[in-house]
Amino acid sequence: MKRTFFAALCAVFIAGVVQAQTYILDKTISLPGNAGYDYLSIDQVNHRLYVSHGTSVNVIDLETEQPVGVIDSLKGIHGIAIDDKSNRGFISDGKANAVVAFDLTTLKTIAIIPIEAEGPDAIIYDPFTDLVFSFNGESSNSSAIDPNTLKQVGTIKLGGDPEFAVADGKGKIYNNLEDKSSLNVIDSKTLKVIKNYPLAPCGAPTGLALDSTNHRLFSVCRQNKGMSVIDANSGVVIATLPIGAGVDAVAYDPKAKLIFCSCGDGTTTIIKQQSADSYNVIQTLKTVNRARTMALDTRTHKIYLSVADFEPGTRKALPNTFKVLIYKQQ
């Protein structure tokens, strides 16, 4: 009798925890323009959201959740990296084969930095080396850029087509290779790949996130519709969990112990980290078809996804329908 009561009490407690972490739609922010979209990035210091949008970047104030500016006149952008130390942001302009530097306060363009590569896509700032790294999809390499001199200072050969990357802040950068279904470990000081981890059963990895405390990487993969947990020290795949189709991004919330996987099929899979090696899916959040890119505000625990409405059965976006969807804990 006591065991039955205890089991029931535990079930109620677990249900309460899951309910408390259920995500719902909070609001929608409409943005101008009809171009394509890619990465979103958050400046946690200045509380701003940067949304890539064709040839421009839409900037949203996260305090008011209202648009406050646009960085435009680019050729075809992908990602945005934030360097609060220099008060500069950096945009990967894939069609220009350049990285565009801008002022975080004024949003004015400071410099257009040509790189010795084609197709810059993902882009990150590494605080350990104080360098910005673009990951160049058409050249299978990464360009290292000094955010102070605004010059390219090196190139890293990656051995495959790079997707998302993340820095641990201690001298290592991790980067998914989509065509190789593997993950590179990069020494950000020597600008060399020092290890490569196979990710099977993960196929065609895209998004990547890091739990720096437990040294766990979270890689989301399109071919097997899964999120794999990898030991960052050994490269061992610890677990693989089912997610939606057409995944692009993944984000980790270290306080809530939640992992978010945004998928093009109109779902975001939310996974609970019970411990470093134990995980379970707690919610399949219904979003909108093609809402596959995402950013997480670790301060408010909200997630932001960009998307447009499309003509049924086509890839043609309907005019004036681009927006950012905001989801919050219920």
Q: Are strands 98-103 and 109-114 parallel, antiparallel or unpaired?
A: antiparallel
Amino acid 316: pLDDT: 85
State which amino acid sits at residue 26: D
Phi and psi, residue 58, nearest 5°: -90, 135
pLDDT, tens digit, 9 for 90 and up, residues 284-304: 999 999 999 999 999 999 999
Mean pLDDT score across all residues of the chain:
94
Pairing mode, strands 172-177 and 162-167 = antiparallel
Identify the band that residue 5 occupies on the pLDDT scale cut at 50, 70 and 90.
very low
Q: What pTM value is reported for the model?
A: 0.93
What confidence tier does 313 reach under pLDDT thresholds 50, 70, 90? confident
Give pLDDT, residue 246. 97
Mean pLDDT of 6-12: 42
Closest by CA to 181, choosing from 208, 200, 157, 162, is 200
In eight-state DSSP terms, residue 160 is S
Burial of 52 (0-12, 13-18, 19+ CB in 10 A): buried
Residues 228-243 pLDDT 10s: 999 999 999 999 999 9
Q: How far apart are CA 270 and CA 81, in angstroms?
A: 25
pLDDT at residue 14, as a whole number? 43
Tell me: pLDDT of 6 over 80: no
Measuring CA to CA, how many Å separate 41 from each of 78, 122, 231, 239, 318?
Answer: 11, 11, 25, 27, 24
Cβ atoms 136, 115 nearer than 8 A: yes
Phi-psi region of 125 (alpha: psi -120 to 50; beta: other; left: phi over 0): beta
